[in-house]
Amino acid sequence: MTGIAFLRGIDVYDPPISKEKALKALKKHPEIYQKFQHFFPFVELPPL
């Protein structure tokens, strides 16, 4: 979820991991991105 927040451009206060690691993990597991899009279709996400 932290990766999704960073992807959306949200400034995460005291993130548990770095932005680079979060985005790398999200790209490694695109099913998380796809599930987020499925459950929250009203939230616009930039492409991975």
Nearest CA to 26 out of 11, 36, 16 is that of: 36
pTM over 0.85: no
- In this predicted structure, the answer to whether residue 28 has a pLDDT above a threshold of 90 is yes
pLDDT score, position 48: 87
pLDDT score, position 30: 96
Please give the Cα distance from 32 to 14 (Å, whole number): 22
Amino acid letter for position 23: L
